[in-house]
């Protein structure tokens, strides 16, 4: 006879709630899990903040930056998702990448959120190579368009 499988109460990666036999109000747990999956699937956050917005909209998600305050205190580096009128927090996993809509750029999690910094375009010098500078400028522009660097005004 096979050994029965035993599941924990949440998923291992994002702590989504799991159902178990005889559980009351199953629809609450299923709806919560679907709402969190819906927000995480897009891989986007509205913006990166240290304080919760005053009037969040259902389903909005944010990347919490230190030092977090208010309802987000103690949740530095986590993702905050507004579901069912309350904040739900998801701890980032190594390799996770999200698109910050406000910054118009991707951020990557690896022992903390890594925000790409646009390199300074070359200037000055005793020998000026116009073709190399043009290629560097085009490379920076391509990385901006792909969301690696935030677009500058």
Give the model confidence (pLDDT) of 44-88 as tens digits. Answer: 899 999 999 999 998 899 999 999 999 999 999 999 999 888 898
pLDDT at 142: 76
pLDDT value of residue 93: 85
pLDDT at 72: 96
Q: State residue 20's pLDDT score.
A: 72
**Interatomic CA distance for residues 95 and 90, integer angstroms:** 14
- What parts of the chain have a pLDDT lower than 70? 1-8, 11-15, 145-147, 150-153
Q: Which two tokens stand for residue 124?
A: 């000055």
Helix (H, G, I), strand (E, B) or coil at 29: helix
* Burial annotation 38-63 (CB, 10 A radius, 16+ → b, else e): ebbeeeebbebbeebeeebeeeebbb
Q: What is the reported pLDDT for 54?
A: 93
- Whole-number pLDDT of residue 144: 73
pTM: 0.68
pLDDT score, position 6:
57
């Amino acid at each position: 006879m096979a050994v029965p499988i035993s599941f924990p109460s949440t998923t291992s990666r994002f702590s989504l709630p799991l159902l178990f036999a005889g559980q009351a109000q199953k629809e609450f747990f299923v709806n919560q899990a679907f709402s969190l999956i819906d927000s995480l699937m897009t891989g986007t956050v509205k913006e990166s903040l240290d304080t919760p917005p005053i009037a969040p909209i259902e389903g909005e998600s944010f990347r919490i930056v230190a030092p977090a305050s208010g309802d987000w205190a103690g949740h530095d580096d986590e993702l905050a998702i507004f579901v069912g009128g309350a904040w739900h927090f998801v701890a980032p996993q190594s390799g996770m990448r999200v698109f910050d809509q406000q910054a118009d750029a991707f951020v990557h999690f690896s022992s903390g959120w890594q925000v790409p910094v646009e390199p300074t375009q070359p200037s000055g010098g005793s020998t000026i190579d116009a073709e190399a500078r043009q290629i560097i400028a085009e490379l920076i522009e391509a990385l901006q368009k792909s969301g690696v660097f935030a677009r500058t005004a």
